[in-house]
Structure formats: C-alpha cells, structure tokens
Amino acid sequence: MRIIEAIDYEHMSSLAARYLIEKISTNPELILGLATGGTPEGTYKRLIEDHRMNGTSYKDITTYNLDEYVGFSPDNPNSYHAFMYKNLFSELDIQENNVHLPNGVAIDLVEECKAYEERIEENGGIDIQLLGMGSNGHIGFNEPGTSFEANTHLVELTQSTREANARFFTDIEDVPREAITMGIATIMRSKEILLLVSGETKRNALKELLNGYVRESFPASVLNRHPNVTIIADQKAL
C-alpha cells in the first residue's frame, strides 16, 4: 500500500486527477471505477479543467460507478446518476453507452445486481477503482459487517451513513434506506485501487485502515489484502 501525503483537500484533488490522467493517457480504453460523495468532487473538477485545457479524451473510456440509491431514477437530482452527470460526465467527451451505474429502479433489483456484476466481467474487469471511505470504514455502500465475499448486492444503509449523506438532501427522511452497491469482492477484483481520504472526520477511519487489522466489521480494512492500492490522504486525515 502506497501513501501519498497531500497538504489539503485541493492538493489531494490535484494529485488524484493527475494520477488518473496519467493512467488515461497510457490507456485510452481504461475501465474506470468511480465513486460519488464529497471526497472525489474536487478530483472531478480538475479532470474537467484538464479536459478543457489539455484535451485529454474520454471517448474510449468506460466507467462503472460503485453504487446507486434504490428507488431513485437517473432523472432524480439526488440519484448518483445525476451526481455523476452534473459533476463529471456532462463536461467530458465520454460516450453515454460507456457509462454504467446500477439501476436503482430496476423491477428485479436482485437480477440488476447480477447483471451489473456480469457487465463488469464482460468488459474485462475494472482497471482502476477510485474510492472514498465513510467514517465507519464503508467503501461503496458496504457497511460494517458486509461479507468480504459479496459481489454487487442490495444493502440497507446504516443510520450513520444516512446522517452523513443527509447534507445532500433537504430532510434526512428523504435519504433512501436502501442502495445497490458493488460488493467488497467486486472492488477487490479491480486491478488497482486509488483511495482518497480527506479531513478530520476520516482521521480515525484512516488510522484503523493503516493498523493493518483486517476484519469485516471495518470494511476498508480489506484493502490491506489488495496488491495495488494507492492512498492519497490530506494532512487533516493523516
């Protein structure tokens, strides 16, 4: 596990963007795993800036997002589909057919999870997965206690995650109770992982991850078993 120390959120975002741009430049057909939440927003801003200024192209890039709320269709402004289009995709030359997120309004949600997993496999797997981490150690929406064997699946969100995500909603009651998420096993099959950690609220979680004790009660600890993980963390988190 490599750790890159950033001065602050802005610096972390610049380093992460540069890291991804280099990967995209080396492999224009990269299969990129993406995350939502506050952590990667700054990185996405910088990818957009670079696309405008330097013309880095995404036309042959394929993306798979980690998760989506159950019951939210792509046109719901609080869906992760909408988040990704607003914060990244609408500003890039990415092809809509190459963008993948779980369908939170699928009639058969279990079948949707299976199909999502299969699509990733058929594409040859994720080359690099961008991750944030919840303060309880969740990655994607894999809450503490999730089996490390889990593939893409349906989850019930914990109260702490709903509270943390309530800032994106007008009322906590509007935060969904269920989501579809890539599983820990899905994430671990990525060839490479880039984890971003910023701020004091993540300091304890990062400490837990770095102490190397791997356990299902702290999902991010599984990253200690992955052969190719880079963490970019800012000073407040370190």
Ligand X SMILES: O=P(O)(O)OC[C@H]1O[C@](O)(CO)[C@@H](O)[C@@H]1O
Contact between 67 and ligand X by CB under 6 A: the answer reads yes
168/233 Cα distance (integer angstroms): 23
From the list 68, 112, 117, 143, the catalytic residue is 143
Contact between 36 and ligand X by CB under 6 A: the answer reads yes
Radius of gyration of the chain (CA): 16
Q: Which residues of 111-129 are buried (b: 16+ CB within 10 A; e: fewer)?
A: ebbeebbeebeeeeebbbb
Residue number, 31 or 164, with CB nearest to ligand X:
164
Applying CB under 6 A, the span of 52-60, 133-141, 146-154, 230-238 interacting with ligand X comes to: 133-141
- CA nearest to 205, candidates 110, 107, 134: 134
Contact between 39 and ligand X by CB under 6 A: the answer reads yes
From the list 65, 87, 103, 136, the catalytic residue is 136
Contact between 71 and ligand X by CB under 6 A: the answer reads no
In a 10 Å sphere around its CB, with 0-12 CB exposed, 13-18 middle and 19+ buried, how is residue 211 labelled?
A: exposed
Report the residue from 23, 38, 100, 154 that binds ligand X according to the rule CB under 6 A. 38
Residues in contact with ligand X by the rule CB under 6 A:
35-39, 66-67, 132-134, 140-141
**Mind telling me the catalytic residues?**
67, 136, 138, 143
